């Protein structure tokens, strides 16, 4: 009787392991990391990261971004507070003593009871590729010197490393994110920023002093490497109750982008080339329906992308399309319906978004495109065959064995073998965690509303976890949807490291870890040059 109980218990245990795995694999992984729950608080105005540089009319809030379509131009921006001063930038290459000169412009704006400083923008043109330059601003008064490195010439196998941050704000957590990024041993060369900059609109009357503090706070990075800007909802600053009815007023006065270089009609959607990447920036908060300027621009833009020149096609936006948090749930759905078929058609490699104050990467268990069921029948068949074989072996040896001792040893070996095979099968089932998915078959009539496996689809990554004062999004939908491969409510940043035309390595780094620790990672296989299954490349 003891042998029978042992056998039945073992079989039930193995079956339980399989059932549990299938249940868990309905979605991806919800991280088990537990972050200490504490209120996210903005740093006070007297914080050292907000310090005003010394000297009369000293330039502050210095930041740079790409200034043309190819990467040979740079826009330098800064603010002077006492008087306009000079809008000229002096610049020279590392190996030259000759200083070149570029002339910029100066603007100001008013927002309710706030009047801005003098905001300077200067475009430097015809720079040499892959060259370190120094530049000076504040000519005639207090001069400050910074430097930057231009990207390599555009080409298909040019390696390049991007940093990724969204929804940064200016809290203590924001400071930790920016520090963590700066000390990451895999050095980002250009920052892709997914929108929501200062969160000044969270203050009474959209206190624009918090735009100034944010500019000084980010200067330690944004003055030395280009930040590629995406507009988020906190840049809208639409406040008719205080007479402010022009959307994006502070943002557009302070942050310039080279939108005209890509034939865009507005600074909220545009494209650039950088090394081996073609980067398209979209606006979640500008009209994007059919016939609108953004729609017509994107319709014409995607066919222009030459994957022989820029293999990596990257899209930035603010509101995510695939989101399993209850925060901002489905806010990106109408834009997804409009543009996702194009993303699949043109084989976009990856889409980065923010908005949700947490981290998530899309993916799915292998899904049938016809009936949307998990395709694990081969694995179940295998396990069933193994269990059946063990049962017959046990019966045969039970009948012919001469003692209970022999039977016990036979049973132990059989159950151990079965368990090993079961674990292997379960691991195989759970390995389908990064399948690319799309939902382009859906329309309001057919009811086909589940994302399905689509090797031509992008990977969707939400990285709105910069650290802003609104805190983390911790309320997740349960069970975890099949389109979600990994999610975690922690602050952090990411790195997208392009190796060549076929491979890129992506990693996400939470603030609580060491600088080199990867909390999530994935090898990307280029959708145009190497469109193989990258579902097994997660770490």
CA angle in degrees (0–180, nearest 5) for 332-353-65? 130
Count CB atoms within 10 A of the CB of residue 141: 15
Catalytic annotation on 121?
A: no
| Residue 275, CA distances (Å) to 14, 292, 430 in order | 51, 30, 36
Q: Is 201 helix (H, G, I), strand (E, B) or coil?
A: helix
DSSP 321: S
For 132-256, list the strands marked E by DSSP: 132-137, 144-149, 160-165, 190-193, 227-228
Q: Are 54 and 66 in contact (CB under 8 A)?
A: no
Q: Are 228 and 191 in contact (CB under 8 A)?
A: yes
Count CB atoms within 10 A of the CB of residue 94: 10
State the Cα–Cα distance between residues 526 and 72, nearest whole angstrom. Answer: 25
Catalytic residue chosen out of the listed positions 63, 69, 120, 328: 328
**CB neighbour list of residue 95: distance below 8 Å, 6 or more residues apart:** none
- Cβ burial 481-505 (10 Å sphere, 16+ → b, else e): bbbbbbbbbbbbbbbbbbbbbbbbb
| Residue 4, CA distances (Å) to 10, 366, 395, 404, 415 in order | 10, 38, 11, 11, 13
160-165/492-498 β-pairing: antiparallel
Cβ neighbourhood burial of 178 (10 Å; 0-12, 13-18, 19+): buried
Residue in the block written with tokens 């042992």? 6
Q: List 145's β-bridge partners, or say none.
A: 136
Residues labelled as active-site residues: 328
């Amino acid at each position: 009787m003891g042998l029978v109980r042992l056998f039945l218990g073992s079989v039930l245990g193995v079956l339980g392991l399989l059932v549990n795995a299938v249940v868990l694999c309905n979605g991806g992984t919800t991280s088990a990391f537990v972050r200490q729950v504490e209120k996210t608080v903005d740093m006070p105005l007297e914080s050292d990261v907000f310090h005003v540089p010394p000297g009369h009319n000293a330039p502050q809030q210095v930041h740079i971004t790409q200034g043309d379509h190819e990467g040979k131009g740079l826009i330098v921006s800064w603010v002077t507070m006492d008087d306009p001063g000079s809008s000229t930038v002096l610049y020279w290459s590392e190996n030259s003593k000759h200083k070149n000169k570029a002339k910029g412009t100066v603007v100001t704006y008013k927002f309710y009871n706030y009047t801005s400083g003098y905001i300077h923008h200067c475009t430097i043109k015809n720079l040499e590729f892959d060259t370190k330059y120094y530049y000076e601003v504040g000519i005639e008064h207090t001069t400050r010197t910074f430097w930057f490195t231009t990207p390599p010439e555009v080409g298909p196998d040019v390696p390049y490393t991007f940093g990724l941050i969204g929804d940064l704000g200016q809290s203590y957590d924001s400071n930790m994110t920016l520090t963590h990024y700066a000390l990451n041993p895999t050095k980002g060369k250009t920052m892709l920023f997914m929108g929501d900059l200062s969160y000044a609109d969270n203050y009474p009357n959209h206190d624009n002093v918090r735009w100034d503090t944010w500019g000084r706070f980010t200067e330690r990075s944004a003055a030395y490497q280009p930040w590629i800007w995406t507009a988020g909802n906190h840049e809208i600053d639409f406040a008719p109750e205080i007479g402010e009815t022009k959307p994006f007023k502070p943002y557009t006065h302070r942050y310039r982008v080279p939108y005209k270089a890509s034939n865009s009609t507005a600074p909220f959607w545009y494209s650039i080339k950088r090394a081996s990447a073609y980067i398209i920036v979209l606006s979640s908060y500008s009209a994007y329906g059919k016939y609108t300027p953004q729609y017509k621009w994107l319709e014409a833009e995607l066919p222009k992308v030459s994957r022989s020149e820029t293999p990596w096609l990257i899209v930035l936006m603010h509101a995510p399309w695939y989101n399993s948090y209850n925060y901002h749930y489905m806010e990106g759905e109408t834009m997804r319906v409009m543009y996702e078929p194009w993303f699949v058609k043109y084989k976009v490699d990856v889409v980065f978004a923010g908005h949700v104050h947490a981290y998530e990467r899309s993916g799915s268990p292998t899904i049938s495109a016809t009936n949307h069921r998990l395709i694990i029948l081969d694995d179940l068949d295998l396990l069933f065959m193994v269990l059946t074989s063990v049962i017959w072996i046990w019966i045969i040896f039970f009948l012919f064995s001469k003692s209970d001792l022999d039977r016990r040893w036979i049973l132990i070996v059989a159950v151990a073998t079965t368990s090993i095979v079961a674990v292997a099968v379960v691991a195989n089932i759970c390995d389908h965690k990064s399948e690319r998915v799309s939902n382009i078959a859906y329309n309001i009539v057919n009811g086909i509303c589940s994302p399905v496996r689509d090797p031509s689809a992008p990977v969707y990554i939400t990285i709105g976890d910069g650290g802003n004062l609104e805190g983390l999004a911790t309320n997740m939908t349960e069970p975890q949807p099949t389109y979600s491969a990994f999610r975690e409510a922690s602050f952090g940043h990411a790195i997208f490291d392009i190796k060549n035309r076929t491979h890129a390595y992506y990693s996400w780094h939470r603030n609580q870890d060491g600088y080199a620790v990867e909390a999530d990672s994935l090898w990307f296989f280029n959708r145009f040059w190497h469109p193989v299954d990258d579902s097994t490349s997660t770490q």
